[in-house]
Amino acid sequence: MTTFTALTTLADGDKARDLAEMLEEMDPAPEGVGVFEMEDGSGLWEVGGYFTAPPDDVALSLMAAAYGARPFAVSELPETDWVAKVRRELVPVRAGRFFVYGSHDADKVPDVGVPLLIEAAMAFGTGHHGTTLGCLRALDRLIDEGVEAMNVADVGCGTAVLAMAAAAVWPRRVLASDIDPVAVEVAEANAAVNGLADRVICVEAAGFDHPTLAAAAPFDLVFANILKGPLIDLAPAMADSVAPGGHIILSGLLVEQADEVMSVYSANGFGLRHREDIGDWATLTMTRS
């Protein structure tokens, strides 16, 4: 089946969200709508719709003009078996002791290490991206340095691969939260298939704003693999939620954004322990003083 995408950008986050809501009311309606801040430091927001029928060009033009957005770029996508494509292209990933793989590569799991199964159909957070890989390496490094976290949270968990990695190494309960209810469902499914459903507790929440997270604080280790803007906004709550001497692993950052985020967290009582850049992406490991 041929499908279509319609994408635009604008500089105002509130208007972007309003435009996304308007997009949902189109006829024919999109099958899905997304809105997010672009990661290139431009300050722009991207709004997009996914359609199974050609979208109304006139309606798109009127909506773009009403919200001060660039004209929508409409693209026709050929029929593709995306799961099969992802399976062909996503090879297993090793990050220190951790081995992230899909079920199609189960025969490649090594005898030594910590295997983490993430299905190709759930490909956001598979370990291939520089941010997730950086976080796994940072966790591996902390373990090698003798750190043992008793109380762990994964904020913005996606597939919960980071929460599962911590739970697999330290047999204790790990909290995994995400603002997206679909991500929470995916996280729960991944925890179950990895035999960690009893230790990875998944909740829908923005940041630390959930009674389960509030009751569990302060944490010894927090992962936050999100984006620069939300990371900066989260800094005061992070300081309130991490125990003295506790660690945080931050990513979702372009290399050129890392210094600004590091400065904000330093002002909130965290000191840099380690930084790793992988391609365009940076991962920061910091310790609360």
**Can you give the pLDDT at residue 227?**
85
For 84-129, write each residue's pLDDT tens digit. 554 554 568 889 999 998 877 788 889 889 999 986 544 345 455 6
Element (H, E) at 163: helix 161-169
Q: How far is Cα 10 from Cα 288, in angstroms, rounded to an integer?
A: 37
> What amino acid occupies position 230?
P
Task: Report residue 190: phi and psi, to 5°.
Answer: -65, -40
For helices 130-144 and 161-169, give the axis angle rounded to 10 degrees: 20
Q: Any idea where the domains of the chain sit in the sequence?
A: 3-77, 127-288
Q: Closest Cα to residue 48, out of 79, 4, 2? A: 4
Measure the CA dihedral 200/213/137/105, to 10°: 30
**83 vs 251, residue with greater confidence:** 251
Q: Which residues contact 48 (CB under 8 A, 6 or more apart)?
A: 5, 6, 7, 8, 33, 34, 35
Matching fold, domains 3-77 and 127-288: no
- What are the φ and ψ backbone dihedral angles of 161, each rounded to 5 degrees? -60, -35
Question: pLDDT over 70 for what percent of the chain?
Answer: 90
| pLDDT the model gives residue 85 | 52
Query: CA 36, CA 95: separation in Å to the nearest integer?
Result: 28
pLDDT computed for residue 123 by the predictor: 37
Q: Which of 153, 270, 287 is nearest to 210 (CA)?
A: 153
Task: List residues bridging with 88 in a β-sheet.
Answer: none
Tokens of 52: 């199974």
> How far, in Å, CA of 282 to CA of 250, rounded?
8
Q: Worst-scoring range by mean pLDDT, 63-67, 111-115, 122-126, 262-266?
A: 122-126
> Taking a C-beta distance cutoff of 8 angstroms, is the pair 152, 213 a contact?
no
**Strands 152-155 and 174-178, sheet pairing:** parallel
What are the pLDDT digits (tens) for 150-187? 999 999 998 899 999 999 999 899 999 998 888 899 89
Express each pLDDT in 213-224 by its tens digit.
999 999 999 999
Closest CA to 4 of 73, 62, 53, 72: 53
Per the document, the length of the chain is 289
Q: What is the mean pLDDT of residues 130-151?
A: 94
Look at 2-6, 42-46, 62-66, 121-125 and tell me which has the smallest mean pLDDT. Answer: 121-125
Average pLDDT rounded to a whole number, residues 247-274: 96
107's tokens: 């025969």
What is the share, in percent, of the chain residues with pLDDT greater than 90? 64
As assigned by CATH, the class of the 127-288 domain is: alpha beta
Superfamily of domain 3-77: ACT domain (3.30.70.260)
Reported pTM: 0.71
DSSP string of 131-145, one letter each residue: HHHHHHHHHHHHHHT
Specify the pLDDT at position 124. 47
How does the average pLDDT of the chain come out, rounded?
A: 89
Rounded distance between C-alpha atoms, residue 283 and residue 138, angstroms: 8
**What's the whole-number mean pLDDT along residues 51-72?**
94
